[in-house]
Structure 1
Amino acid sequence: MIFLINKIISVKEAAEKVQDGMTIMVGGFLANGTPENLIDAIVKNNVKNLTLICNDTGFPDKGVGKMVVNKQFKKIIASHVGTNPETANQMNSGETEVVLTPQGTLAEKVRCGGNGLGGFYTPTGIGTEAEIGKEKKVIDGQEYIFELPLKADVALLKASVVDKKGNMVFAKTTKNFNPLMATAAKVVIVEADKIVEVGEIDQDRVMCSGIFVDYIVGGDK
């Protein structure tokens, strides 16, 4: 007999997994593929001094931008913040530390974190502010920057269809950073548009394995 661990919890219960001072990863690209219900609940909980790892900070009224407006982050690591003026305001005032990271570098840093790697060398950023304070090395005549991995306490993801084991299917471009971040956090919570029984998702359609998922919330909970 196979016993299935119940991973389904309420949005309220899931939001309480995020505590003051934690580092969180949030999936999405300009708020597409972002767990909006989880974000709303975390805004309501008003946890503070968080470190955010994400592709971008969304918009003031959408995605993680709502948490930025609520001043919940002490540090943000992202590749783009231009669509949320509040991020720039907090950065310029010194209220929030913002580390701008090239998008490909950001993705690889998360991948390294999820795969237990110590980092990687990249030529991206040579000759720019991105190289300040980082180890550099010349390999075959090319100068490289050494980038460290990124990991989080909690990853907040969004998927279109999730079975009760946590196997995920993403709709089109909503896939973005979600499966990558699933590997790089101690606790992984996925918000699903639809939750189905185990076996209802064809194995060839699974885009991210449920082995990485600790908790599942339905968008209507």
Structure 2
Amino acid sequence: MINKIARSVADALADVKDGATVLIGGFGTAGIPSELIDGLIAQGAKDLTVVNNNAGNGETGLAALLSAGRVRKIVCSFPRQADSQVFDALYRSGKLELELVPQGNLAERIRAAGAGIGAFFSPTGFGTELARHADGTPKETREINGKHYVLEYPIHADLALIKAECGDRWGNLTYRMAARNFGPVMATAAKKTVATVHEIVELGQLDPEAIVTPGIFVHQIVKIDRVATQAGGFKKAA
């Protein structure tokens, strides 16, 4: 019987190895799989390459993972903001490597990995420093129908950590509004995908038309309780 429900975050992340490339969903603070990031910190894997839209907020979540010294390199499109002090300090001190990728290219490079695309040409970044590799050598370019393009390669990962809303034991997932963001493409691009959900339903309860991430792309799901706050928002249960 297929049952992808993990007993705990610790069980779901027990096999993460040092040096792994980890895709972490989220857009700013929307859709961040905070419990999985905390679990990764507790698990102890180090020398990680992390791919995320940004480089952490405040002192929690991705910022906490960076602060713990577990990340060697971060690949993102928006590293600096008002509360990105953890990233800022590490980067300026030379303790963290950064690969800056325009947001559209970031999404497409992840999608390309999931779709089995070897590489693709994008007009974004042509004629700028983003058209160079980390070592300073120029990326391949091509003129197509009078327009200039830069060759970009897929981002494959060992692990994807995403936050969903509902799931079933087969791993089918639905999302809540903007929390969806990078989750669906990241799930397709990793050797292993772990998702948190707030509700686990029986097989057949999810409308097939509403399933955004089919279970074939998901390896384990973990149920995270959610309780309402007095302000009407949500927080995780203790």
Do they fold alike, i.e. is TM over 0.5? yes
Q: What's the TM-score once normalised by structure 2's chain length?
A: 0.88
Secondary structure of the 2:200 match is strand
Secondary structure of the 2:198 match is strand
Aligned 8 A contact 1:43 1:67 in 2: yes
Distance in 2 (CA, whole Å) between partners of 1:15 and 1:39 is: 10
Aligned 8 A contact 1:27 1:156 in 2: yes
Task: Tell me whether 1:201 sits opposite 2:199 in the alignment.
Answer: no
- Matched with 1:8 is 5
Please give the per-residue CA displacement for 1:36-84, whole angstroms capped at 9, x wherever unaligned.
1111111122321000111112313333122111121111100111131
Identity of aligned residues (%): 39
- Matched with 2:17 is 19
Q: Which runs of 5+ in 2 are unaligned?
A: 133-137, 226-236
Distance in 2 (CA, whole Å) between partners of 1:107 and 1:180 is: 7
- Matched with 1:41 is 39
Give matches, 1:113-128, under 5 Å: 113-128=113-128
Distance in 2 (CA, whole Å) between partners of 1:85 and 1:120 is: 34
Please give the per-residue CA displacement for 1:146-188, whole angstroms capped at 9, x wherever unaligned.
0010010011111011111111111000000000101000011
- Matched with 1:141 is 146
Secondary structure of the 2:10 match is helix
Secondary structure of the 1:182 match is helix
- Matched with 1:166 is 171
Large movers: runs of 4+ above 2 Å: 60-63
Secondary structure of the 1:32 match is coil
Aligned 8 A contact 1:32 1:173 in 2: yes
Aligned 8 A contact 1:30 1:63 in 2: no
- Matched with 1:50 is 48
- Matched with 2:91 is 91
Please give the per-residue CA displacement for 1:101-126, whole angstroms capped at 9, x wherever unaligned.
00000000001001111111111111
